Amino acid sequence: MNFFIRILTTATLLAPLSPLMAQDQPQTGLPRTSLAAGFHQIEVQIASTPAQQATGLMFRAEMPQHEGMLFIFPEPKQQCFWMKNTLIPLTAAFVADDGTVVNLEDMQPQTTKSHCSAKPVRFVLEVNQGWFMKKGLKAGLRLAGPPFKSGG
């Protein structure tokens, strides 16, 4: 019985530290969806809570070329991103409610330079740097997928 009390006590003491200990690890288990960018498909993880958004793509050594992360915020506002603790170069697409890409920003790994939306947006899509350019996609493109309102 004394053994079980020690285990429970240790587990209870360590439980509050588990989020702190996991901060230097890539996050996993986020919801996923598919988006279309013209004829191209991209599979995205969805970061919709402040904790998920704060971690984003930090600590990942790589990301498949057909994947990304979609940040969904509660209301449109100017969104600014930086790359502290992010190991791979990314492009951020700042996206309006209807899926229109407002602007694209290339971001370098492990920097604290802010990259901001040109106008208030609720969505930011991060992909491997160059993904849009390699496919000939530019600001003004309209992404399609479940998160975006249909224009009509």
Domains and CATH numbers, the chain: 25-144 (2.60.120.1140)
pLDDT of residue 26: 85
pLDDT of residue 19: 45
CA proximity to 128, closest of 48, 43, 53: 43
Q: Chain centroid to CA 113: how far? A: 17
Rounded to two decimals, the pTM is 0.83
pLDDT of residue 116: 98
Distance CA(65)–CA(68), nearest Å, equals 8
Mean confidence (pLDDT) of the chain = 87
Assess contact for 114 and 80: CB atoms under 8 A. Answer: yes
37 in helix, strand or coil? strand
Assess contact for 66 and 43: CB atoms under 8 A. Answer: yes
- The tens digit of pLDDT for each residue in 65-86 reads 999 999 999 999 999 999 999 9
Assess contact for 55 and 66: CB atoms under 8 A. Answer: no
